[in-house]
Chain A
Amino acid sequence: MNLIEIQHRMLDAVMQPLTPGEQMQPRARDGKSMREVAAEFIKPNDRLSSFERLEIYNRQYWFRVLASLDEDFPGLRAIIGQRRFDALCKAYLVDCPSQSFTLRNLGSRLESWLRSHPEWIQPRASLALDMVRLEWAEIDAFDGAAEPVLTPGDALASEPDPQFSLQPYLQLIKLRYPVDDLLVAIRKDSSEAGMASNAVSERRKQTRVRKVARQKPQAIYLVVHRVEYSVYFKRLEPEAFTFLKALREGKTLSDAVVLAFQRSDVHESNLLGIVQNWFENWSTLGWFCRPKSANQESISSSERQP
């Protein structure tokens, strides 16, 4: 057996889901006895059979990847419960094993996978999908790139109809349930779990989930952003959200204003004040950045200096 054959066989065995008792499966995917499969390439020793030695890696793989998703999606876990969450994660990882060098990206395909496998999140599919989208947006906002913040001195502000760039880390998501509040509350319950018993903490979470699930869906426009490297959620009016979406898509200021207010009943005379107010607030939060082209120009000009 050459190197590649060993690696294919071993990875296939390592990534096969464990039994409910967290043991290695007795059969390989092709139906062969796993004891025979293991014995073909792994030596036994005086204490462990080939099967048992391979099983150590099998167990380590699943413990590691499940722990990673458990850490990244506490909101989804609270909505569907720990046992169902564990089963869902196993099914997801069988269909979508990691294709990245970092565990950070392990959940990157979870939302799209759940859309094609809604049976895992019924009867709270919409709520669960909102939560997954929020939890993934939080991950992206946490370590997304930040460009230099736009300042009043930047030439851009004096252009007649400028395009404003948003910070790459900024995530704009539309929700149907208030999962932002729910996630904050779930985290609080978990951090307080040390003081109360786990059972009390879990009951509290379930009560919160039930309360939110009973609510009538309504549009929530949310920005997931960073302040001093910590991630925060900020709800916006629909007009403000549409405006930011338009800027992100590269629309000019005037086009973004038109898009933002085209279905709004805000009187035209108030538009300027509203937009000015948005800019003041969002500039304070550092949401606008210098366009990439401006940064490159600035770098080139500094490189030209003697």
Chain B
Amino acid sequence: MPANAFNGFTDFGVGIGLRVPHYQHILSEKPVVSWFEIISENYMIDGGRPLHVLERILERYRVVQHGVSMYFGSPEPVNREHLKKLKALVRRTKTPWLTDHLCWGSVDGTYSHDLLPMPYTFEAARHTAQKIRKVRDFLEIPIAVENVSSYAEFHVSEMTEWEFLTEVVESADCGILLDVNNIYVSSRNHNFDPDDYVDGVPAERVAQIHIAGHSKFEKYILDTHDHPVIDPVWKLYARAVELVGRTATLLEWDDNIPSFAEVHNEALKANRFIPEMAVAS
């Protein structure tokens, strides 16, 4: 399923996140990259260097927007001013689809700037799906929601995380940004089999896949995006690709960012797990 309604019927390959330390290299060396993912909030501004760089990137590359603050699961209605800014950016980038997280992070207009986990209840699923629909209707582009890494589970949960994800995306009729690193992190933190998760999501709704590294502590794993991808996560990625098909894949590396080449090479390892790409290489 390389192209589907949830990624705008596109067929993107392996991309990387556009990050400030790489600006210079990308603009001067013009490396061949299938696509870049940008953090929407970094460009929801009025002017200056970030937008200038983005314009130059857009001249040459395909860009997909990824958000960190829509908070579909937060209790308050979506902020119209936020949406207007986001829509202006959507028009600028012509992103074929837009992603944000299946989480909450604000209450009554106070922001935590974190991706807080949802209680897996039918009430939460209904509320979240309704908000996703409203955002999609306003932005007029396909939306895919990303499963987050979590460190806590709630007593009130009525289903597994993957059942909750399925409930939300089917109610909202939206796509999934399947983060296999997040699945791995949460599986270790909550003692479930990550394969059950990958097997349990509606494959036909997967618009994009995220891969990343993380940090292991004595009693839990933290999703830090500051290391290469570990083998068990690649294994999970291989399983996801097997079920979903070749899908737009993105490596996230947000802290202790190494050279552009190192990040890009790490991302391109994903091709080893895509049968048609592995044969070609």
Binding site for B on A (CB under 8 A): 1-4, 6-8, 10-11, 14-15, 40-43, 45-48, 50, 52-54, 56-57, 60-61, 64-65, 68, 97-104, 142-146, 168-169, 226, 229-230
Contacts and interface: CB of A to CB of B under 8 A. Distances in A.
A103 B113 contact: yes
B52 interface: yes
Interface residues on B, range: 35 or more
B47 A45 contact: no
B111 A41 contact: no
B45 A99 contact: no
B220 A47 contact: yes
Interface stretch (B1-9, B151-159, B171-179, B197-205): B151-159
Contact of A64 (B69, B73, B110, B114): B114
A27 to B, nearest CB: 20
A57 B116 contact: yes
A208 to B, nearest CB: 28
B254 interface: no
A169 B47 contact: yes
Given A1-B155, A47-B220, 12 more contacts: A6-B156, A7-B116, A40-B155, A52-B219, A53-B151, A61-B114, A97-B111, A100-B111, A101-B41, A142-B48, A143-B51, A144-B47
Contact of B151 (A11, A46, A57, A168): A57
Nearest to A1: B156
10 contacts: A11-B112, A14-B112, A41-B154, A41-B155, A41-B156, A42-B152, A61-B114, A102-B44, A143-B45, A169-B46
B35 interface: no
A262 to B, nearest CB: 34
Contacts of A103: 113
Contacts of A52: 219
B155 A43 contact: yes
A35 to B, nearest CB: 14
Interface stretch (B26-34, B74-82, B90-98, B230-238): B74-82
A16 to B, nearest CB: 12
Nearest to B123: A3
A177 B155 CA distance: 56
B47 A14 contact: no
Contacts of A68: 113
Contacts of B219: 47-48, 52
A168 B44 CA distance: 16
Contacts of B258: none
B191 A229 contact: no
Nearest to A64: B113
A15 B106 CA distance: 11
A15 B112 contact: yes
Nearest to B154: A41
B107 A8 contact: yes
Contacts of A43: 152-155
